């Protein structure tokens, strides 16, 4: 019986392999083989999709990623009227380092165009880039030049006029407007922040190091899945849309099975012979399968070995296989029990399971989040692995590994000794909550959270929307530096798409933006995270939950209204009267920024980049926002801590 069953399994495998070969098999194999070979261009080696160069077939890349590789030492890419030298390509992180060709030999020979990218495919990589503005032909007696650095243009080109001067300034320079009016011309050029650390190296050296460009797009997620399934990324020759070249033909996103890579010269005749033999043997295979099925005496009520796992568990395993390149440590559940001492020390409890303290074999302390098998279909697990695995930021918690064993699922994170922010800002006696941290530390925590969110929204190759920003999900390390955690409700979005489709609301009561539960308020986007952040920093400065302001009927009063009223009463929020001028400014900044962030219309809320600018800027520059007009819905004690 076993031999019959093994024969049946082998025949089924062969049957599927044979029947998936379409008439276009030869063309698909040709594209698969041609595009699987990386190419070299100047000093840049092993370049692959989405880049095109030389005579590389157009179906192997995207036209907007065309590189010129004539006799140049470096490849050249063009945006608008400007050419850029490609200094490096980090294909694993979708980051390209480029420098303006017209500024490589001298800053005095520019085309006088600001550096503009094709934002449909490229964007500045804000974690490493900073703008410089170069001013040419300025008069000597320009006032307010503190921070402007002179550079010469001795003869020829722009900025070489007699009795004039040239300056460059970074983006924090306050006199840009005055210089623009006084100087004849200027251009804006991105450069690497690290290059500006040593300005003594000179402007030319800074320009020659170029700047980083994020070229991630919606195709990148598909390409990742295609390559993980054994395919080769490519494009449709006519529409230039993404396709996955597989041994079984051209697929829209991923291969149904891993094909054998055909390299070198193919023998077309051999391919035709194999295809012919498979076609002739198809009838024989069908006959054999029918006979084996009739002869099998296995009970129809017993479950075959390939059906022991549920479809959901198969989907999770397939997801993990596709994410193998991320090099996360995978642990057995028995290992998880060992380094948590059978889940002895519980750190907390969330909607999807408990969090326990553990210690790895190397002595590193970790926090282990054990997910409830009864909650969801593994979405929490997929969301956390897919989102956090893409991040690397000082204000984002680090995922070290995971466990997936049937219905047993766990996530292993770095350990944060000071726990969550919630326990430091909530309590009946405010002097026993916020005061131990101090206003300055709370203020720095608010800025750190903002930087983490800015990174998720703009710094990652794929935009990550958290959808559950609240004090409980902000963890504090040994220095009380904040890290954003719990990405179970997160959604990934291409950088060039601002609107998010969402079937049901997600988030925690009291922090959910209006548009998330009612589309009449606007579209769901990264501004929904901004709203949650605003609610949270209002709690931080007020020392109260936004759903508990000291009265029993919370439907009669709305937390921001309470804050706004105290703001009108000159910061009467319960803080000590003897606050310093600096502390008073910090409190007022957090209040004003928080109120701007929770504006009902998403378009009225600032981006997280603007939030950082407001927090770090001058208090006099902040205006009081319009008063919130929403009323808080009635909430029960159960709802107050619930998560959708």
- Rounded CA-CA distance 90/46 in Å is 11
Helices (H), 506-580: 514-517, 527-542, 559-568
Q: What is the pLDDT of residue 631?
A: 41
H or E segment at 464?
strand 463-465
Question: Which CATH superfamily does the domain covering 308-415 fall into?
Answer: Phosphorylase Kinase; domain 1 (3.30.200.20)
Is position 113 annotated as part of the catalytic site?
Answer: no
* Sign of the alpha-carbon torsion through 168, 173, 175, 180: positive
Q: What are phi and psi for residue 500, nearest 5 degrees?
A: -120, 135
Q: What is the pLDDT of residue 318?
A: 62
Q: What is the pLDDT of residue 14?
A: 43
Per cent of the chain over pLDDT 90 is 20
CATH class of 420-640: mainly alpha
**How would residue 283 be classed by pLDDT, with cut points 50, 70 and 90?**
low
Q: What is the pLDDT of residue 285?
A: 63
Lowest mean pLDDT among 7-21, 270-284, 400-414: 7-21
Q: Which residues pair with 396 in a beta bridge?
A: 484
Lowest mean pLDDT among 24-38, 70-84, 147-161: 24-38
- Rounded CA-CA distance 605/599 in Å is 6
| Contact in structure between 394 and 481 (CB atoms under 8 Å) | yes
Q: Could you list the beta-strand ranges (E) of 333-373.
A: 346-350, 353-359, 365-371
Q: What are phi and psi for residue 374, nearest 5 degrees?
A: -85, -10
- Rounded CA-CA distance 592/628 in Å is 12
Query: How far is CA 307 from its chain centroid?
Result: 36
Q: What is the pLDDT of residue 444?
A: 95
State mean pLDDT over 279-298: 56
- Rounded CA-CA distance 515/524 in Å is 6
Structure tokens at 285: 């295979």
Enter the pTM of the model. Answer: 0.51
Lowest mean pLDDT among 115-119, 321-325, 378-382, 421-425: 321-325
- The CATH 1.10.510.10 domain(s) of the chain lie at 420-640
Collapsing DSSP to helix, strand or coil, 95 comes out as: strand
Q: What is the pLDDT of residue 262?
A: 42
- The CATH 3.30.200.20 domain(s) of the chain lie at 308-415
Higher pLDDT, 210 or 176: 210
How far apart, in Å, are the Cα atoms of 62 and each of 58, 235, 239, 276? Answer: 7, 7, 10, 35
State mean pLDDT over 407-436: 74
To 10 degrees, the CA torsion angle through 56, 62, 64, 68?
A: -10
pLDDT per position as a tens digit, 502-511: 656 677 888 9
* Residue carrying structure tokens 């409830």: 372
With 60 as the cut, is the pLDDT of residue 432 above it?
A: no
Higher pLDDT, 322 or 490: 490
With 50 as the cut, is the pLDDT of residue 300 above it?
A: no
Helices (H), 46-103: none
Chain mean pLDDT for the chain: 75
**How would residue 21 be classed by pLDDT, with cut points 50, 70 and 90?**
very low
pLDDT per position as a tens digit, 127-186: 788 888 898 888 876 666 667 888 888 766 676 777 778 888 887 777 777 778 888 888
Q: What is the pLDDT of residue 634?
A: 39
Which among 51, 109, 102, 55 has a CA at the least distance from the CA of 75? 51
State mean pLDDT over 252-273: 52
H or E segment at 48?
none
With 80 as the cut, is the pLDDT of residue 642 above it?
A: no
- Rounded CA-CA distance 153/502 in Å is 56
- Rounded CA-CA distance 41/75 in Å is 6
Helices (H), 194-346: 203-208, 218-228, 268-295, 311-322, 333-339
Q: What is the pLDDT of residue 100?
A: 92
| Contact in structure between 197 and 176 (CB atoms under 8 Å) | no
**Count of beta carbons in the 10 Å neighbourhood of residue 430:** 16
With 80 as the cut, is the pLDDT of residue 308 above it?
A: no
With 70 as the cut, is the pLDDT of residue 23 above it?
A: no
Query: How far is CA 311 from its chain centroid?
Result: 28
Which H, E and C letters describe 136-167, residue by residue?
A: EEECCCCCCCCCCEECCCCCCCCCCCCCCEEE
Q: What is the pLDDT of residue 296?
A: 47
With 70 as the cut, is the pLDDT of residue 644 above it?
A: no
Q: What are phi and psi for residue 287, nearest 5 degrees?
A: -65, -45
With 60 as the cut, is the pLDDT of residue 528 above it?
A: yes
State mean pLDDT over 382-410: 84
With 50 as the cut, is the pLDDT of residue 3 above it?
A: no
| Residues written for the chain | 644
* Residue carrying structure tokens 């006519």: 238
**How would residue 265 be classed by pLDDT, with cut points 50, 70 and 90?**
very low
Collapsing DSSP to helix, strand or coil, 505 comes out as: coil
Q: What is the pLDDT of residue 180?
A: 81
Task: Choose, from 468, 477, 572, 604, the residue flagged as catalytic.
Answer: 468
- Rounded CA-CA distance 205/518 in Å is 52
Higher pLDDT, 609 or 491: 609
How far apart, in Å, are the Cα atoms of 84 and each of 80, 129, 347? Answer: 11, 16, 52
- Rounded CA-CA distance 540/306 in Å is 53
- Rounded CA-CA distance 588/563 in Å is 11
- Rounded CA-CA distance 467/465 in Å is 6
With 60 as the cut, is the pLDDT of residue 328 above it?
A: yes
DSSP state of 513: -
Q: What is the pLDDT of residue 171?
A: 75
Which among 486, 403, 405 has a CA at the least distance from the CA of 452? 486
With 70 as the cut, is the pLDDT of residue 91 above it?
A: yes
Q: What is the pLDDT of residue 18?
A: 42
Q: What is the pLDDT of residue 314?
A: 59
Which among 375, 584, 365, 372 has a CA at the least distance from the CA of 475? 365
- Rounded CA-CA distance 227/220 in Å is 10
State mean pLDDT over 529-534: 95
* Residue carrying structure tokens 């998880």: 336
Q: What is the pLDDT of residue 214?
A: 84
Structure tokens at 15: 């049957």
Structure tokens at 164: 């004039």
């Amino acid at each position: 019986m076993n031999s019959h069953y093994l024969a049946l399994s082998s025949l089924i495998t062969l049957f599927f392999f044979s029947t998936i070969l379409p008439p276009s098999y030869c063309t698909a194999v040709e594209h698969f083989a041609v595009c699987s070979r990386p190419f070299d261009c100047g000093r840049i080696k092993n370049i692959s999709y989405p880049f095109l160069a030389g005579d590389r077939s157009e179906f192997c890349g995207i036209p907007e990623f065309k590189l010129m590789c004539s006799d140049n030492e470096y490849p050249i890419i063009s945006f608008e009227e400007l050419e850029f030298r490609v200094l490096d390509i980090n294909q694993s992180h979708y980051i390209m380092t480029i420098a303006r060709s017209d500024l490589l030999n001298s800053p005095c020979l520019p085309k006088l165009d600001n550096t503009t990218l094709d934002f449909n495919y490229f964007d500045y990589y804000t974690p490493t880039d900073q703008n410089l503005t170069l001013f040419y032909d300025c008069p000597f007696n320009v006032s307010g030049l503190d921070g402007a650095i002179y550079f010469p243009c001795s003869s020829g080109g722009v900025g070489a006029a007699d009795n004039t001067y040239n300056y460059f300034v970074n983006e924090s320079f306050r006199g840009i407007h005055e210089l623009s009016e006084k100087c004849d011309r200027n251009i804006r050029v991105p450069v690497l922040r690290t290059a500006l650390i040593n300005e003594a190296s000179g402007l030319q050296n800074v320009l020659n190091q170029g700047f980083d460009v994020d070229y991630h797009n919606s195709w990148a997620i598909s390409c990742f899945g295609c390559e993980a399934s054994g395919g080769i990324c490519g494009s449709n020759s006519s529409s230039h849309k993404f396709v996955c070249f597989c041994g079984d033909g051209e697929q829209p996103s991923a291969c149904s099975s891993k094909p054998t890579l055909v390299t070198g010269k193919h023998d077309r005749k051999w391919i035709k012979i194999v295809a012919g033999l498979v076609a002739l043997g198809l009838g024989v295979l069908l006959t054999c399968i029918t006979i084996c099925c009739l002869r099998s005496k296995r009970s129809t009520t017993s479950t075959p070995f390939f059906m022991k796992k549920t479809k959901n568990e198969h989907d999770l395993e397939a997801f993990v296989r596709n994410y193998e390149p991320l090099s996360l440590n995978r642990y057995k559940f028995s290992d998880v029990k060992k380094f948590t001492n059978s889940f002895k020390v519980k750190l907390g409890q969330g909607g999807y399971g408990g969090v326990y303290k553990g210690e790895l074999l190397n002595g590193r302390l970790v926090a282990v989040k054990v997910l409830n098998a009864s909650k969801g279909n593994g979405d929490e697990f997929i969301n956390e692995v897919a989102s956090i695995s893409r991040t690397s930021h000082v204000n984002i918690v680090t995922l070290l590994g995971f466990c997936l064993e049937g219905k047993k699922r766990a996530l292993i994170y770095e350990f944060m000794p000071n726990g969550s922010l919630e326990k430091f800002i909530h309590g009946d006696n405010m002097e026993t909550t916020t005061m131990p941290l101090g206003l300055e530390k709370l203020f720095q925590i608010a800025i750190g959270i903002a930087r983490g969110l800015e990174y998720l929204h703009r710094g990652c190759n794929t935009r990550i929307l958290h959808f559950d920003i609240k004090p409980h999900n902000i963890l504090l390390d040994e220095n009380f530096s904040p890290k954003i955690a719990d990405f179970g409700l997160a959604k990934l979005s291409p950088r060039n798409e601002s609107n998010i489709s969402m079937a049901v609301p997600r988030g925690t009561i009291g922090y959910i933006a209006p548009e998330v539960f009612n589309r009449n308020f606007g579209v769901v986007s990264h501004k929904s995270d901004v709203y949650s952040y605003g609610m949270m920093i209002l709690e931080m400065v007020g020392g109260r939950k936004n759903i508990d302001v000291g009265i029993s009927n919370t439907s009669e009063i709305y937390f921001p209204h309470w804050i706004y009223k105290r703001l009108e009463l000159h910061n009467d929020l319960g803080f000590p009267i003897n606050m310093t001028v600096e502390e008073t400014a910090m409190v007022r900044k957090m209040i004003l920024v928080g109120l701007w962030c929770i504006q009902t219309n998403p378009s009225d809320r600032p981006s997280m980049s603007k939030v950082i600018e407001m927090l770090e800027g001058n208090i006099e520059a902040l205006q009081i926002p319009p008063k919130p007009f929403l009323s808080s819905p009635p909430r029960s004690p159960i709802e107050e801590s619930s998560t959708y």
